[in-house]
């Protein structure tokens, strides 16, 4: 059992998979990890084979791969069943002309069919694009259009948000639902699955062939398609082993939706590459439901996010005491800064250290982490994963000494690094503008013991409840509302969500500010883009601060909001 000593919590599991951190870091070679894959011998590469079929070939076909539950379903699937079902979907896709490199999107709530479709598509050599179920029309259309998606798997409830008529390349729509009435041009998923054989040839690919496309937000422009390749499995596997610390008998639960990168890299790939039983809970967050999920599944390893931990903390210790959480042995967090207060609370109430991990959609896998075998400093993201060289550098690429704040940068390359921003080479190159380094866009410092401490973002990207929101996308939607003349969007600090979205708006002539109008504008964004992109606060202004070229100065808005000095205004319009 670990103990709190000053601001260091001692290691709780020296016998974890990583072992001694320094030793592991100093002796590390990626090639040693590669040797653990079947393709190292066979030369036949496909992520889906390594994650699913391989376990069947190793005699573990009867082991539970997926335990899925939500309010109306409670089901378990073995590796053998996942293999057969994904094969069936591979055959369905092939029959409908989908082949290697095609972009196949999945747009639906968590369900066994979601995972089957994704693996089926990967086995066919397609690049999968997962879309979060809360996306509305514009968000869905932007992503399908940019990627040139040819197929989508969705549900009757979400179909209306897919503007089929406006997407000429989108040829195949698979609908997952019970007792569907036939609809012209729409393929009934269950009907075609029933007729499909569970035997399929896997499309063997190259390590550098496309696997997944995750759209994520930057500070300018529409969301970017971050493109990852099969080679990423090396990082997923290794970090699953040493960061998630997964072992044969673990029951693992990652609370993230596969619409976000955590829900794929660590909600499907890492646990299944390690052949571990993966629990997926559908439905919305509620403290009692979450604790019950841990209790009834006897979860041993749990990966979640700061906002969720803060909400659980807000729900109090009494709720915790109604459940038996004694199965837990390893708890992790990602997505936003993890407050030291939450770490201390976790230790007190769960008897567990919450291990912060840092990474991004673009990095494909965890890079800076806390490990069971390493002392933990509450508030620190930890130390680089073996094989990863992280540093704090200035804008010229000079490595800064401990305690100096600067750009958090990673030496290129590493196995799960993004390989492209879809259709946007200049954006991609911006990340690598300093030769030899990937520039994360985060600022941080490193302390004298080599622990990294997150400080903030360099750009205007908003992080609300761990979800990354581009102000530009929200501003663009706001401008479509007839009352809005100008809009500027910032992240406003919030104790529960990290940040909330705040919009400053100037109105068109003829519109008067009112609470009703605020509510109407927020609803407009919610229904057009997505709930998590809708401003929680709106403030009307006669005019917004702009540069002479007409760009809204978000930093001035932020300074207004925080009562800070506005800084250099030499480029302001008037
Ligand atoms: O600002 C950092 C923050 O989330 C950003 C990446 O967001 P996204 O691509 O959506 O990926 C989230 C999950 C991998 C980062 O640039 N972030 C992520 N992890 C942490 C974090 N901020 C502080 N501490 C973390 N552990």
Cα dist from 562 to 74, 177, 287, 571, whole Å: 47, 48, 32, 21
How many angstroms is it from 544 CA to the middle of ligand 1? 29
Residue with the smallest CA separation from ligand 1 atom 12 is 335
How many angstroms is it from 29 CA to the middle of ligand 1? 26
Question: H-type helices in 281-416, by residue range?
Answer: 287-297, 306-315, 317-321, 340-349
User: Is there a cis peptide before residue 424, judged by omega within 30 degrees of 0?
Assistant: no
With bands split at pLDDT 50, 70 and 90, how would you rate the model's confidence at 265?
very high
Is any ligand 1 atom within 6 A of the Cβ of residue 381?
yes
- What CA–CA distance (Å, rounded) separates 76 from 62? 11
Is the pLDDT assigned to residue 206 strictly greater than 90? yes
How many angstroms is it from 440 CA to the middle of ligand 1? 10
- pLDDT tens-digit readout, 381-395: 999 999 999 999 999
- pLDDT tens-digit readout, 71-99: 999 999 999 999 999 999 999 999 999 99
Is any ligand 1 atom within 6 A of the Cβ of residue 215?
no
Shortest-distance atom of ligand 1 to CA 359? 14
- pLDDT tens-digit readout, 489-498: 999 999 999 9
With bands split at pLDDT 50, 70 and 90, how would you rate the model's confidence at 14?
low
Shortest-distance atom of ligand 1 to CA 256? 13
Q: What is the mean pLDDT of the chain?
A: 95
Going by C-alpha positions, the residue among 490, 363, 359 that lies closest to residue 431 is 363
Beta-sheet pairing, 537-540 with 498-507 = parallel
The total of other beta-carbon atoms located within 10 Å of residue 469's CB is: 25
How many angstroms is it from 318 CA to the middle of ligand 1? 31
Both structure tokens of 414? 């590493």
What is the pLDDT averaged over residues 549-573?
84
Percent of the chain with pLDDT strictly greater than 70: 98
Is the pLDDT assigned to residue 244 strictly greater than 80? yes
Query: In this structure, which long-range contacts are made by residues 553-560, counting pairs with CB atoms below 8 Å and at least 24 apart in sequence?
Result: 553/488, 554/460, 554/471, 554/488, 554/489, 554/490, 555/460, 557/488, 557/490, 557/504, 558/490, 558/491, 560/504
Is any ligand 1 atom within 6 A of the Cβ of residue 358?
yes
Angle between helices 112-123 and 79-95 (to 10 degrees): 60
How many angstroms is it from 160 CA to the middle of ligand 1? 32
With bands split at pLDDT 50, 70 and 90, how would you rate the model's confidence at 550?
confident
CB 37 within 8 A of CB 50: yes
Residue with the smallest CA separation from ligand 1 atom 14 is 360
With bands split at pLDDT 50, 70 and 90, how would you rate the model's confidence at 370?
very high
What is the pLDDT averaged over residues 454-480?
93
Is any ligand 1 atom within 6 A of the Cβ of residue 360?
yes
Residue 225, beta-bridge partner list: 215
| The predicted structure's pLDDT at residue 486 | 94
Is any ligand 1 atom within 6 A of the Cβ of residue 262?
yes
For 382, how many CA atoms within 13 A lie in the half-sphere containing its CB?
31
Is any ligand 1 atom within 6 A of the Cβ of residue 454?
yes
Residue with the smallest CA separation from ligand 1 atom 13 is 335
With bands split at pLDDT 50, 70 and 90, how would you rate the model's confidence at 1?
very low
Is any ligand 1 atom within 6 A of the Cβ of residue 440?
yes
CB 279 within 8 A of CB 252: yes
- What CA–CA distance (Å, rounded) separates 164 from 187? 14
Is the pLDDT assigned to residue 5 strictly greater than 70? no
- pLDDT tens-digit readout, 22-35: 999 999 999 999 99
Is any ligand 1 atom within 6 A of the Cβ of residue 270?
no
DSSP 266: I
| The predicted structure's pLDDT at residue 6 | 57
> What ipTM score was computed for the predicted complex, to two decimals?
0.99
The total of other beta-carbon atoms located within 10 Å of residue 474's CB is: 23
| The predicted structure's pLDDT at residue 73 | 97
How many angstroms is it from 197 CA to the middle of ligand 1? 41
What is the pLDDT averaged over residues 541-567?
89
How many angstroms is it from 516 CA to the middle of ligand 1? 35
| The predicted structure's pLDDT at residue 4 | 53
Angle between helices 471-479 and 515-528 (to 10 degrees): 110
Shortest-distance atom of ligand 1 to CA 440? 16
Is any ligand 1 atom within 6 A of the Cβ of residue 442?
yes
Is the pLDDT assigned to residue 569 strictly greater than 80? no
Residue with the smallest CA separation from ligand 1 atom 6 is 360
Shortest-distance atom of ligand 1 to CA 441? 16
CB 47 within 8 A of CB 233: yes
CB 425 within 8 A of CB 439: no
How many angstroms is it from 111 CA to the middle of ligand 1? 26
Is any ligand 1 atom within 6 A of the Cβ of residue 334?
yes
- The dihedrals phi and psi of 219, each to the nearest 5 degrees, come to -90, -20
The total of other beta-carbon atoms located within 10 Å of residue 13's CB is: 16
Both structure tokens of 382? 């930890």
Residue with the smallest CA separation from ligand 1 atom 26 is 358
For 244, how many CA atoms within 13 A lie in the half-sphere containing its CB?
37
What is the pLDDT averaged over residues 220-249?
96
CB 139 within 8 A of CB 148: no
| The predicted structure's pLDDT at residue 318 | 96
- pLDDT tens-digit readout, 313-334: 999 999 999 999 999 999 999 9
Instruction: Judge residue 428's burial from the number of C-beta atoms within 10 Å of its C-beta, 0-12 exposed, 13-18 middle, 19 or more buried.
Output: middle
Is any ligand 1 atom within 6 A of the Cβ of residue 261?
yes
Q: Which residues contact 283 (CB under 8 A, 6 or more apart)?
A: 70, 71, 289
Is any ligand 1 atom within 6 A of the Cβ of residue 470?
no
- pLDDT tens-digit readout, 106-141: 999 999 999 999 999 999 999 999 999 999 999 999
Is any ligand 1 atom within 6 A of the Cβ of residue 499?
no
How is 403-439 classified by DSSP, letter by letter?
T--EEEEEES--TT---EETT-HHHHHHHT-STTEEE
Both structure tokens of 358? 């840092």
Both structure tokens of 441? 């866009």
Sheet holding 406-411, edge to edge: 390-393, 406-411, 437-446, 452-457
Strand, helix or coil for residue 460: coil
Beta strand ranges found along 200-286 (DSSP E): 210-216, 224-229, 251-254, 277-281
């Amino acid at each position: 059992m670990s103990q709190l000593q000053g601001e260091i919590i001692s290691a709780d599991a020296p016998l974890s998979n990583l072992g001694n951190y320094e030793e592991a870091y100093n002796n590390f070679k990626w090639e040693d990890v590669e040797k653990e894959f079947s393709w190292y011998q066979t030369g036949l590469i496909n992520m889906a084979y390594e994650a699913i079929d391989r376990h069947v070939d190793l005699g573990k076909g009867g082991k539970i791969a997926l335990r899925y539950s939500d309010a109306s379903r409670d089901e378990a699937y073995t590796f053998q069943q996942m293999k057969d079902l994904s094969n069936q979907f591979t055959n369905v896709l092939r029959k409908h002309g989908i082949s290697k490199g095609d972009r196949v999107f999945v747009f639906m709530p968590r369900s066994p069919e979601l995972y089957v479709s994704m693996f089926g598509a990967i086995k066919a050599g397609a690049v999968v694009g997962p879309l979060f179920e809360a996306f509305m029309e514009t968000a869905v259309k932007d992503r399908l259009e940019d990627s040139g998606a040819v197929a989508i798997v969705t549900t009757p409830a979400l179909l209306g948000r897919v503007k089929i008529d406006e997407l000429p390349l989108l040829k195949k729509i698979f609908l997952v639902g019970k007792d569907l009435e036939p609809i012209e041009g729409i393929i009934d998923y269950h009907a075609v699955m029933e007729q499909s054989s569970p035997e399929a040839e896997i499309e063997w690919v190259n390590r550098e062939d496309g696997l997944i496309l995750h759209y994520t937000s930057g500070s300018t422009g529409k969301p970017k398609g971050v493109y990852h390749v099969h080679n990423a499995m090396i990082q997923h596997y290794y970090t699953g082993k040493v960061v998630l610390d997964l072992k044969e008998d673990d029951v693992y639960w990652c609370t993230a939706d596969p619409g976000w990168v955590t829900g794929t890299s660590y909600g499907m790939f890492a646990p299944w590459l390690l052949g571990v039983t993966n629990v997926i809970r559908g439905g919305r967050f509620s403290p009692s439901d979450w604790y019950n999920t841990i209790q009834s599944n006897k979860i041993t390893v749990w990966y979640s996010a700061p906002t969720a931990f803060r909400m659980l903390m807000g729900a109090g210790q009494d709720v915790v005491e109604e459940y038996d959480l004694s199965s837990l042995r390893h708890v992790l967090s990602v997505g936003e800064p993890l407050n030291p207060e939450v770490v201390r609370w976790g230790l007190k109430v769960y008897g567990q250290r919450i291990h912060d991990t840092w990474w991004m959609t673009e990095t494909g896998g965890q890079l800076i982490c806390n490990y069971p075998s390493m002392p933990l400093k509450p508030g620190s993201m930890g130390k680089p994963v073996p094989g990863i060289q992280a540093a704090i550098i200035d804008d010229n690429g000079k490595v800064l000494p401990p305690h100096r704040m600067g750009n958090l940068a990673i030496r290129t390359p590493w196995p799960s690094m993004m390989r492209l921003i879809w259709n946007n080479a200049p954006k991609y190159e911006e990340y690598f503008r300093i030769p030899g380094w990937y520039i994360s866009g985060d600022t941080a410092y490193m302390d004298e013991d080599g622990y990294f401490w997150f400080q903030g973002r360099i750009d205007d990207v908003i992080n609300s409840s761990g979800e990354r929101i581009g102000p530009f996308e929200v501003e663009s939607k706001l401008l479509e509302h007839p009352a809005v003349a100008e809009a500027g969007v910032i992240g406003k600090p919030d104790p529960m969500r990290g940040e909330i979205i705040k919009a400053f708006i100037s109105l068109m002539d003829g519109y008067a500010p009112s609470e009703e109008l605020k509510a109407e504008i927020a609803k407009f964004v919610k229904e057009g883009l997505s709930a998590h992109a809708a401003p929680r606060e709106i403030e009307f202004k006669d005019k917004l601060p702009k540069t002479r070229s007409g760009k809204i100065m978000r930093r001035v808005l932020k300074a207004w909001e925080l009562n800070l000095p506005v800084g250099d205004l030499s480029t302001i319009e008037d």
